[in-house]
Amino acid sequence: MQNRDFCFLKLCNHPKTEKIFRQAKNPIAEMPERWYNVGVYRHFVPILDVFCKGENLMKRIFACTLILLLLLVGLCSCGFDATYTGPVYYMYLNDIPTTLDPMYAYTDDAAMAIMPMLYEGLFKIDENGKVSKALCESYKKVKWDTNTGIFEVDFALKDSRWSDQRTVQATDFVYAWRRLIDPSSDSDAAVLLYDIKNAKDIKNAVGTKTKNDFGISASTISTVHVELVGQQKSDGSYAEPDLDAFIEKLASPMLVPVREDAVDKLKGENWATNTGTIPSNGPFYLKSYNITASAKDLRSSELRLQRNAYYLREFDDHDEAQDAVNEYVEPYGIVIRYTVDQDRDENGTALPDSVPYYSSSAAQALAYFKSGNLDYLSYLALEDRAAYKDQVTLSDTAYTHTYRFNTLNPLFEKAEVRRALSLAIDRTALAEMLVFAKPATSIVNPLAYETGSYSKNAEHFTDHLTNSVSATAKEAEAKELLQKAGVTSGAFTITVRSGDEVALATANYCAEVWGRLGFTVTVRKLGVTSYIYNDYDAVYDQYLACLRAGGADYNTNPPGNEEQLAAGYDVIAVETFMNSTDPFTVLAPFAKTYTGGFLDLSVSAKEYEAVLPAGGYDSETYKELIDKAYAAVDKAERSAFLHEADKLLMEDMPIMPLFTTQTAVLKNSKMKNVSYRLGGVPDFSRMSIKGIDPERDEEKMKEEAKQYSTSAN
């Protein structure tokens, strides 16, 4: 510590600051943010040099006087509180997220609601579908040759840091994208990268290519170099890749950077379930939330985000910030409560050990909002939706609620049976029951574009559907189809994610309808269990394990548990995410070589058999259509192939669309500067509420909410 730093410490005479300075390795870098950002210390430095080094007594006295004056001004600007950094906002978004791993979070709409707050990719898409730069400073074509088929692009990164102060580097993108196309990974998102050289072959273990042959590299510490694929034409030349469409894919929340050292702390997926192992490069970082604790005691379900003080900020050669801490992120913190109703069981019966007002049920969240103690609410209990449908702000999401059939199950091996089950569902009535939903007749979300990318007056893919899925029930036709298939009875289970009220209500509705067709249908809820891995708390997501098993058996217990309980799925509820505006990325994973599924490379083989799509669906005709769409140069021709693929998929019905979801928002009337991304995902980085108390008493908030609660015992 320099002498002037110690003098500054003593003159401040602040016990908390004194402790910081004495313990810190770099005291000035670790001083309270508020002091630094009002510029107090920077004004002190030259004066302290005079005070500490000056030999002239008058100069030292003059310097001391200036120090005292500046100190007074600085403390006044801090409100005499060196730790003040801004207000904390309280929200209620959705269910409990079970993973914050970008590779798998798309299976969980609750996780996707907060992913943009934690991670920043190269680009982003606003609510109107327009693409803009996020972490990308600029991009340029390095080589673009239709004769040789070499198409290379450089993406320069903005200066930004992870929440642990490490600079965001190009290698973080390289690692994240290589992780997706690794044959041992299992994610539908892999198809997003098939425009890049060798991605498809590496993912499917074709030939001898490895991840090192993948067409992405870090040409500099802040430059991501990408080699794109150009389809060869009949004359031997190569068609130019659609760079605009590729850039839209780069706006996907699955293509954000990931730190290799973070993943290595907890091998596998559990690195993204613990605050101690998740660095963030977005506007916020995870201050507190332990998914393991929620698995043990749902009453602890609360997630706290805090401003990432290093997000996009400029630092000089001395590692000192050159702009205010709230230059890019206004809120200091966000507290998110989740859909956990400990007061009543699944039948609505009051639990004997319930703790009213302290659990975070949707009804209680509404009580908090009505009492003025919740700033933003984007989920309403089913029982409250009709009453508030005219008061909420609605936005369409990127999710389509679907059912995947296990086609390996003899009961569902015939397409006629799967199609009959679909015919019996009244999607319009179901959407009306859920209130904030729209009937879906394709797994492609209505937000996807006909040509795969945004343009002025762009049409949407679902505006031109040719499939035969009906929005209303055709129960008589369904029974007739079952008679022809020779299947008029049977027993099966619908699996849903535990805690998902909408999924449970939908499953109960479908079970009742299918019961009228002669089937015995039960509903199973799967959640998470906790265990210890390498001294870290870890969770095992039974639902995700079941989904990724693709209908095959899976172990319902976490790794290391000797008891092996096999339980695949018959029908599983899946929130199918539109991972880009290109319908290809949603349709392709139902064709072999596009699934993104796991390949076991521990078994030596000259050629590895392509992974079957989820649920075991295997149609060579469908794969040929996807292959043609992948190779198509003309946009209209490509779109035509995709419509044919959609039509065939809905005839074979390995996956059944039910409805698209909507986000319904109630918010503080004084809330400003909340923007939205495509799919209704909010961006709270510039949010503010005029006149809000920065230090609200949470116990008082709970007491005030009591009088508004409708769920008291």
Residues 476 and 598 in one domain: yes
β-partners of residue 344 are 350
Residues 506 and 651 in one domain: yes
What is the CB neighbour count within 10 angstroms for residue 359? Answer: 21
CA angle 577, 581, 584 (to 5 degrees): 80
Model confidence at 560: pLDDT above 60: no
Model confidence at 573: pLDDT above 50: yes
Residues 70 and 140 in one domain: no
Please tell me the total count of domains within the chain.
3
Report yes or no: 167 and 185 within 8 Å, Cβ to Cβ: no
Of 153 and 539, the structure prediction assigns the larger pLDDT to 153
**Cα–Cα distance measured from residue 663 to residue 380, given in angstroms and rounded to the nearest whole number:** 9
Length of the chain, in residues: 713
**Cα–Cα distance measured from residue 476 to residue 486, given in angstroms and rounded to the nearest whole number:** 15
Residue 685 maps to a domain: no
Residue 152 maps to a domain: yes
Select the highest-mean-pLDDT range: 49-53, 301-305, 429-433, 546-550: 429-433
pLDDT tens digit sequence for 587-646: 999 999 998 776 655 554 445 566 677 788 999 999 999 999 999 999 999 999 999 999
pLDDT at res. 84: 46
Residues 37 and 133 in one domain: no
Query: Which residue among 241, 256, 271 closes a domain?
Result: 256
Residues 69 and 141 in one domain: no
The token duo for 678 is 């495509």
- What pLDDT band is residue 457 in, cutting at 50, 70 and 90? confident
Model confidence at 160: pLDDT above 90: yes
192 class by beta-carbon count within 10 Å (0-12 exposed, 13-18 middle, 19+ buried): buried
Question: What range does the domain containing 628 cover?
Answer: 376-663
Looking at residues 454-476, what average pLDDT do you find? Answer: 90
pLDDT at res. 559: 53
| pTM of the predicted model as reported, rounded to 2 decimal places | 0.82
Residues 454 and 569 in one domain: yes
pLDDT tens digit sequence for 293-330: 544 444 446 788 999 999 999 888 888 888 888 899 99
Residues 14 and 141 in one domain: no
pLDDT at res. 12: 42
Q: How many CA atoms lie within 13 A of 460 on its CB side?
A: 11
- What pLDDT band is residue 2 in, cutting at 50, 70 and 90? very low
Residues 450 and 532 in one domain: yes
Residues 572 and 490 in one domain: yes
The token duo for 583 is 């319908």
Residue 276 maps to a domain: no
Average of per-residue pLDDT values in the chain? 81
pLDDT tens digit sequence for 350-377: 444 433 333 346 777 888 888 888 899 9
CATH number at residue 556: 3.10.105.10
H/E stretch holding 88 reads: strand 88-92
Residues 43 and 147 in one domain: no
Per residue, what are the HEC states of 341-402? CCCECCCCCECCCCCCCCCCCHHHHHHHHHCCCCCEECCCCHHHHHHHCCCCEEEEEEEEEE
pLDDT tens digit sequence for 138-155: 999 999 999 999 999 999
Residue 362 maps to a domain: no
pLDDT at res. 453: 80
Judged by DSSP in three states, 253 sits in helix
Query: Which residue among 256, 275, 293 closes a domain?
Result: 256
Query: Which 8-state DSSP code applies to residue 290?
Result: B
pLDDT at res. 38: 36
Residue 296 maps to a domain: no
CA angle 57, 63, 65 (to 5 degrees): 105
Model confidence at 556: pLDDT above 70: no
Give φ, ψ of 524 to 5 degrees. Answer: -120, 135
Model confidence at 26: pLDDT above 60: no
- What pLDDT band is residue 13 in, cutting at 50, 70 and 90? very low
Model confidence at 708: pLDDT above 80: no
CATH number at residue 190: 3.90.76.10
Residue 455 maps to a domain: yes
Residue 42 maps to a domain: yes
Percent of the chain with pLDDT over 90: 54
Residues 64 and 126 in one domain: no
pLDDT at res. 649: 97
Model confidence at 452: pLDDT above 90: no
Query: Which residue among 194, 223, 256 closes a domain?
Result: 256
Residues 427 and 512 in one domain: yes
Of 9 and 539, the structure prediction assigns the larger pLDDT to 539
The token duo for 546 is 């079941």
Residue 182 maps to a domain: yes
